[in-house]
Structure 1
Amino acid sequence: MRALNPKRKRRKLGPKANPAPGNPLHAYLHAYTDWALAAGYSEHTMATRRAAVLRFIVWCDERSITRPVELTRPMLERYQRHLHQHRKSNGAPLSVMAQLGLLNAITAWCRWLVRQNHLLHNPAADLELPKKPKALPKTILTVQQVEAILNLSDVTTLLGLRNRAIMEVFYSSGIRRMELIGLKLYDLDIERGTLMVRMGKGRKDRFIPVGARACAWVDKYLVQVRPEIVTGYDDQTLFLDDFGQPMTVRFLGDLIRRHVEAGGITTPGACHVFRHAMATHMLENGADIRFIQAMLGHANLETTQIYTQVSMTKLKEIHSATHPARLERLKGVGKANPQDETNDAAAALLEALAQEDDEQE
């Protein structure tokens, strides 16, 4: 295990504020953003889309494109090839999911331009987008690895106790990092062991259970830590940063990444490894797939079925019982049960979590 590094690495920010300031396309982007927020789109969604369109406007400005009527399908195809050929600072290409996110934002913006009569037709309507990859999540932790990471927190310190409580909630509930930083004091009922996730992905609420161990750590945090670090106006946010303020996505991501890396795990989307682990470990122990769906907040059961591969433990058990090249037959193991949905899902891949991994990059 590596020791925790208290120094946070500063990540490079995206494009500088208002790049290509003289390009008139900025006015259309601002109008689109205002319309979308008024129409009920979340601020997080629009911040992501705005950054994607802003990147596109910079590319357009370099080619003297300044009017919506100049946005044509061949030009968008050129931009698509540009994204495909782009290399990040480390030399790696943009992932397919990253390319899709950038292109989907452009498609939505063009659709709005048509709706507002700035364009006669949507040049992105027939754009042939790359297919979503079918891949496993980059990292699935074992129970022992999760426990080792949790135990890295120095719970004799205020911030160490807070960090342990945060990771326990992540592992117990499987919520996303945006959902965790939005939790309020009244969202967690320690006595009942329940958690209300308000305005999660898709602007949907959900009511889920939280384990007794996670509740116990949060109770310690509320009694011993939060009163000591809270400063200024208290808006009832559950977890606070080192300065007593509500956490940002970047602060939380860096915090969990340091703990995961100290446990010997290097992976993008550190907060999501607990989400992966929660779903996989509960499936290993026989949890119904519909319960996992409710915990993760998936609107479609098929999304959960795709990524809920029966764990390698179960697959190895069936393999040992049925494969002819074995040392000895295991009695009573691996028999087919048509009523068992877990066995039916045994060959399904963990695609949905892999896609969420790519969204974190």
Structure 2
Amino acid sequence: MKKLKLKEEKHKRLESGFKEWLKVTGYSTSTVNSLPAHIKEFFYWLEQSDLRIESIPPQTLQSYFLYLKQRPRQRRTGALSNNYLLKHLQAIKRLSEYLRNTDQESFDADIVITGDKRKIPEILSREEIKQLYEATEDSPMGLRDRAMLAVYYGCGLRRNEGINLDREDILTDKNLLYVRYGKGNKERYVPMTAEVKEDIESYLLYGRPFLVKEEYEEAFFLTERGERPESQSLNIRLKQLTEKAEINKVISLHILRHTIATHLLESGMSLENIALFLGHESLESTQIYTHIMNNDL
């Protein structure tokens, strides 16, 4: 949208003022940069349609989103995703709020976008997560089970991110996990809560030493043979733990990642911070979790 050129001086001023308002109000850097870009496209569409920002009726907004649904993507083939449209809706709602809060003539942005959203598999409740923890045993493999829950639920790692963890990646002195092989080979640091740190340290002190067979082995997770686990072996172990906890759901390590993201959103964490936590490159990937919030945009 950077190539779009606005003609109306009022639209240019509003775009600039909106961005400054987002910054002063305390929105994240990514939001401060992304929402004005969506607003710029909205203003450009108004100019091309010979419409004005003052007192926009709901049907005008509906027409705008019909245009968005029909226009092609700029970098990929096909139409814009429904979740990307929701980001445009968020921008317009924040614009409406900005106009009201700065005593300018605003408009009603209470519209609904129809269509299928990206769906995520069934997640676990907080009670079911508790049941998983309670199903672990006080043994080396049981301590590894708790560490597995800590890494994949407590820290939200992807399956291979957890499997590729080395002992030196556990920075307990800084309450961080170092993910050196994230998606696209991008590294990141993931914070550990006190509970997560306790479970991981217990495994390192009282579980892993009984599993390690070679002193040079650097893998954090070890099998009973003292080797780094295969890609599916932790999922199989999680399935066994699920059955023991009598949870009637088909879950996987990735479901644990979905679950913590949804629980964080329910607790009030911003999408921007959840995206950083999960290692998402864009908010479009993170917005699948807004289904929990009943159209919170």
TM-score class normalised by the smaller sequence = 0.5 to 0.7
Give 1:287's aligned residue. 269
Does residue 152 (structure 1) correspond to residue 127 (structure 2)? The answer is no
Give 2:149's aligned residue. 167
Distance 2:205 2:227 in 1: 17
Distance 2:211 2:285 in 1: 40
Q: TM-score, normalising length from structure 2? A: 0.58
Choose which of 119, 124, 132 in structure 2 pairs with 1:136: 119
Aligned-residue offset at 1:266? 5.2
- Conserved? CA contact 2:290–2:296, under 8 Å: no
Choose which of 158, 163, 166 in structure 2 pairs with 1:181: 163
Aligned-residue offset at 1:236? 1.3
Give 2:28's aligned residue. none
Distance 1:282 1:135 in 2: 19
- Conserved? CA contact 1:150–1:168, under 8 Å: no
Give 1:343's aligned residue. 296
- Conserved? CA contact 1:183–1:238, under 8 Å: yes
Distance 1:178 1:296 in 2: 13
Does residue 276 (structure 1) correspond to residue 277 (structure 2)? The answer is no
Give 2:195's aligned residue. 213
Distance 1:225 1:206 in 2: 26
- Conserved? CA contact 1:208–1:295, under 8 Å: yes
Distance 1:256 1:151 in 2: 13
Distance 2:291 2:264 in 1: 10
SS at 2:182 equivalent: coil
Give 2:285's aligned residue. 303
Give 1:248's aligned residue. 230
Q: How does 1:1-361 map to 2 (within 5 A)?
A: 134-154=117-137, 156-265=138-247, 270-305=252-287, 307-311=288-292, 314-315=293-294, 343-344=296-297
- Conserved? CA contact 1:230–1:244, under 8 Å: yes
- Give the gaps of 5 or more residues in structure 1: 1-125, 316-341, 345-361
Aligned-residue offset at 1:209? 0.7
Question: C-alpha offsets along residues 265-290 of structure 1, whole Å, 9 cap, x if unaligned?
Answer: 45555111211110011101100111
Question: Once the two structures are aligned, what percentage of the paired residues are identical?
Answer: 30
- Conserved? CA contact 2:147–2:199, under 8 Å: yes
When the two chains are superposed, the root-mean-square deviation of aligned CA atoms in Å is 2.4
- Conserved? CA contact 2:161–2:179, under 8 Å: yes
Distance 1:145 1:166 in 2: 16
